[in-house]
Amino acid sequence: DALIHSLTLGRGGGANSKNTAFGLSALAANTTGENNTAIGREALMSNTTMSFMTAVGQGALRSANPTALSASVAVGSGALYA
C-alpha cells in the first residue's frame, strides 16, 4: 500500500490483490477477506475475514459483524457502523 499525504491507497491489510482500499485506515485489519472495496477514512477498518463487502464513506462498515453482514454494501458516512 502507498501512503500519500496520510491517505492509504492499495489493497489494505493482508495485501490481497483482490481488494481495493482508498482512505486512511480503510480495510486496515483485513487478513483473508477478498473481493472487498473500501473507500473513505476507516471504511471496513475492522474487517478481517469477510469477503464481497463494499463500503463507501467515512466509517462505513467500520466495525462489521461477520455473522450478520456477509456480502454487504454500505454507502454514506457511518453507514452500517455496528
Residue range 11-50, pLDDT digits in tens: 999 989 999 999 999 999 999 999 999 999 999 999 998 9
Cβ neighbourhood burial of 35 (10 Å; 0-12, 13-18, 19+) = middle
- Which three cell numbers mark 34? 477478498
> How confident is the model at residue 82, as a pLDDT?
66
The β-bridge relationship of strands 20-22 and 37-39 is parallel
Helix count (H) and strand count (E) of the chain?
0, 6
Higher pLDDT, residue 6 or 37 = 37
7 has pLDDT over 90? no
Question: In the predicted model, is pLDDT for residue 4 greater than 90?
Answer: no
